[in-house]
Amino acid sequence: MIDGTSAFLEGVVRTATPLALAALGETVTERSGIINIGLEGSIIAGALGAVIGAGYGGVWAGFAFAAVCGCAVAAIFALFAVTLRADQIISGTAVTLLALGGTGTLYRILYGSAGAGLNTPTLDPMSLPLLSQIPVIGRSLFVQSAITYMLYLLIPAVGWWMYRTHAGLGLRAIGENPAAAIAAGIRARRVQFLAVLFGGLLGGISGGTLVLAQAGTFVEGMSAGRGFIAIAIVVLGRWNPLGAALAALVFGAASALQFFFQATESNLPYQLFLAFPYVLTLVALAATRGRASSPAALGRQDFGQS
Amino acid sequence: MAFVVDMLVHATPLMITGLAVAIAFRAGVWNIGADGQFIAGATAAAWVGVSAPVEIRWLALIAALVAGVIAGAIWAAGAAWLRSRFGVLEVISTIMLNFIATYGASFLVRGPLQEPTHVYPQTSGIVSGAHMPVLVSGTRLHWGFVIGTVLAAMAWWVMKYSATGFKVRASGVNPFAARSAGLIDVSRVTTIAFVVSGAVAGMAGAIEVTGVTFALYENISPGYGYTAIAVALLAGLNPLGVIGTGILFGALETAAGTMQRNIGIPSTTASVIEAVVILAVIAIAQLRANRVTRTV
C-alpha cells in the first residue's frame, strides 16, 4: 500500500506538470487583461510539434519545436484578439478549432491515415540525490523528468518577474487599468501581444510534455481539454503563479485517480474517472465564487479610450 | 440528387445546433456547449425510443423529441445556473459539460443502455414508432429538416418582433444599458436564452437519433456543437440566415467525406475551414468597426 501511495503521488506530479505549465503561461496572459481560450490550440500544436521535432533531433529538439508551434498558434490568436481587438472568446474558440483540425490533418498527411506505431523518444525520470530520499513526498517530487524540474524553477522566476520587476508591474497595470497604464507610457497592445506569446510558448511546451514525458506518441485531440482546465486552474490559483501550481496539483490528483483505481481493480466504470477532472473543474469554479479577484479589465475589447 | 439529399441530411443537425448557438450568442451568452446539449438530447431520445411501446407511432416519436428537448435544456441549465449563481464563465463550464456528456454517453452505451448482445458500444435500435417519417420517399431525407427550418423561422420572428426578442437582443448588446434604461432583468433573460439554446441543441440530438442513426452510438456527434459556432457566426447570428449557412456547411461536410473516401483528403480539414470562416467573419467585422471608430 505504501508503494501504491507513492506511485500515486508520483503520478499526481507527472500529470500536473503539463497543466501547471499551461496555467503558468495563461496566468501571465490573463494578468495583461487577455483571456486566451485558444490555449487548448497551443497545447495540441505543441504536441504535434514535439513529435515532428523529436523525429529530427531528439527530445530537446522536440521541446523546442513544440514551443515554436505553441507560440505560432498564440500569435494567430493575438493577431485577432490584440491587434484587431476582436472578441477574445470567439477568437480563442476559432483558434482552438483551427489547431485541433490542423494538427489532425497534418498528422494524417505526415504519418498516414492510421498513424499508428509512431514512437518518439521520451524523457526518463531523473532521481535527484538527497531530495528524493525525503520520506513520502521525496520520490513524488524529485523522481521526475527534467521538464518538471524546469517547472519548479520557472514558477518562482515568473512570480519574481511579475511582482518584483518594473515590467511585471506594467503587465499587471494593463490588466487592472489599461487607460492608466497607457497614460504612464506603457505600450499596452505590445505587452499584451507578448503576454499571449509567452502563454502560447508554455502551452506548446505543455503539449510537448504530453508527448515527450508521458505518452511517447501523438493522438488526435490528445490535449483533451487541458487548455480549458488550465484556464480554470488560473482562476482557482487566483491569477498567481504559485497558486496556479498548487491548483494544478489538485487536478493532477483528479487525473491520477484513474491509474490508482485501475490498479485496485474496482468495479466502478472507467468513464467516471475520465470525467472526474471536468466535474472537479465545475465544482472548483463554483467554489471560488466567480471572478472576484480577476484582473479588472480581463476580456475587455477596448481600453475605454483610444 | 444523392449529393443534395446527403447535404440536407448533414445540414439538419448543423442548422439546428447553429440556431441554438445563435440564440445564446444574441443574448451575450457564450454557449460553446451545444455539443454536450446535443449528446444529452440524443441520449434521452434514444432511451425513450428504445423503451417506448411500438404500437403508438406518433406518440413514441413525440415522446422521444420531448425527452431530447428536456435533456438539452437541463444540460444547459446547469451551466446557466453556475453562471448566474456563482459567476462561472460559461465558456469553461459548457466545455467541461461537453466532456462530461461524452463520457456519460460512453458509459451508457457500454453499460445500462447497451444492446442486449453486449458486443457493440451502442444501444439497440429505437422502435419503429419513434422513427422520424421520411420527407422524400426512397431517400434518407427526413422531416427533421423541415422541423429545423420551422424552428429557425419561429426564432427569427420572436427575435425580431416580440418583446421577449427585444429583451434578449438588448441584454446581449449592452447588459448595463438594458438593466438601467430598459428595466430588463438581464440575469433572468440571459438564463432563459441559455436554457432555450440548450433545448434547441437537445432537439437537434433527438432529431438525429430519430431521423438518421436510430440508435445511440459512442461518438454520436462529430463536433456538431463546434461547427455550429461557425454556422451561427457566418449567418450574422440571424436565425433565418442559419438555414442557409447550415446547408452550406452540410455541403462542406458531405464534400469532405467524399474527398476523404476518394482522394484521401482528411475530413479534419473541414474544421480547419470552419475555423478560417469564423476568423474571416470576425476579421472583416473588426476591420470595418475599427475604421468607423477611427474616422469619427
pLDDT, greater one: A66 or A141: A66
Q: How many domains is chain A built from?
A: 1
Amino acid symbol at B76: A
Q: At A202, is the secondary structure helix, strand, or coil?
A: helix
pLDDT of res. B76? 97
Indicate which of B100, B259, B287 best probes the interface with A, i.e. most A CBs within 10 Å of its own CB: B100
- Please name the residue of chain B whose CA is at the shortest distance from the CA of residue A275: B100
Residue A257 lies in a domain: yes
How many beta-carbon pairs under 8 angstroms link A with B?
Answer: 136
Query: Which residue in the set B88, B95, B278 is minimally distant from A286, CB to CB?
Result: B88
Residue A126 lies in a domain: no
Produce one character per residue of B57-73: b if its CB has 16 or more CB atoms within 10 Å, e if not.
eeebbebbbbbbbbbbb
| Residues 6+ positions from B240 with CB-CB distance below 8 Å | B152, B153, B156
Amino acid symbol at A220: E
Q: Would an 8 Å CB–CB cutoff place B153 in contact with chain A?
A: no
Residues from chain B that touch A85, judged by Cβ atoms under 8 A, are 286, 290
Amino acid symbol at B91: V
Domain that holds residue A62: 2-119+135-287
Residues from chain B that touch A93, judged by Cβ atoms under 8 A, are 32, 91, 226, 229, 278
pLDDT in tens, A194-239: 999 999 999 999 999 999 988 888 888 899 889 989 998 998 888 9
pLDDT in tens, chain B (296 residues): 788 999 999 999 999 999 999 999 999 999 999 999 999 999 999 999 998 876 677 889 999 999 999 999 999 999 999 999 888 889 889 989 999 999 999 999 998 888 888 888 888 888 888 899 888 888 889 999 999 999 999 999 999 999 889 988 988 888 888 888 777 888 899 999 999 999 999 999 999 999 999 999 888 888 898 889 989 988 989 999 999 999 999 998 888 777 777 666 666 788 888 899 889 988 998 888 877 665 54
Q: How far apart are CA A166 and CA A245, in angstroms?
A: 24
What CATH code is carried by the domain that includes residue A203? 1.10.3470.10
Contact B275 A94 (CB under 8 A): yes
Contact B107 A290 (CB under 8 A): no
- Please name the residue of chain B whose CA is at the shortest distance from the CA of residue A288: B86
∠ CA A185-A186-A192, nearest 5°, is 160
Measured CA to CA in angstroms, residue A210 lies from A28, A47, A58, A205, A277 at distances of: 21, 7, 15, 9, 17
pLDDT of res. B128? 85
Residue A225 lies in a domain: yes
List, as ranges, residues 204-263 from B with C-beta within 8 Å of A: 226, 229-230, 233
- Please name the residue of chain A whose CA is at the shortest distance from the CA of residue B271: A101
Query: Which residue in the set A85, A97, A231 is minimally distant from B271, CB to CB?
Result: A97
Query: Which residue in the set A94, A97, A225 is minimally distant from B99, CB to CB?
Result: A225
Residue A300 lies in a domain: no
ipTM of the shown complex: 0.88
pLDDT of res. A291? 52
Pull the grid cell for residue A8. 500515486
Contact A94 B279 (CB under 8 A): yes
Pull the grid cell for residue A83. 491587434
Residues from chain B that touch A104, judged by Cβ atoms under 8 A, are 266, 268, 271
Across the range A240-266, mean pLDDT stands at 83
Domain that holds residue B213: 2-292
Q: How many domains is chain B built from?
A: 1
What CATH code is carried by the domain that includes residue B184? 1.10.3470
- Please name the residue of chain A whose CA is at the shortest distance from the CA of residue B278: A94
| Residues 6+ positions from B92 with CB-CB distance below 8 Å | A228, A231, A232, A281, A285
| Residues 6+ positions from B176 with CB-CB distance below 8 Å | none
Query: Which residue in the set A228, A231, A278 is minimally distant from B100, CB to CB?
Result: A278
Amino acid symbol at A100: L
Question: Alpha helix (H) ranges present in B117-236?
Answer: 144-161, 163-173, 175-180, 186-208, 224-234
pLDDT of res. B265? 65
Contact B275 A281 (CB under 8 A): no
Q: How far apart are CA A241 and CA B265, in angstroms?
A: 43
Residue A293 lies in a domain: no
Residues from chain A that touch B279, judged by Cβ atoms under 8 A, are 76, 80, 91, 94-95, 98
- Whether residue A19 is predicted with pLDDT greater than 50 in this model: the reply is yes
Residues from chain A that touch B97, judged by Cβ atoms under 8 A, are 278, 282
**pLDDT band at A35, cuts 50/70/90?**
very high
- Whether residue A2 is predicted with pLDDT greater than 70 in this model: the reply is no
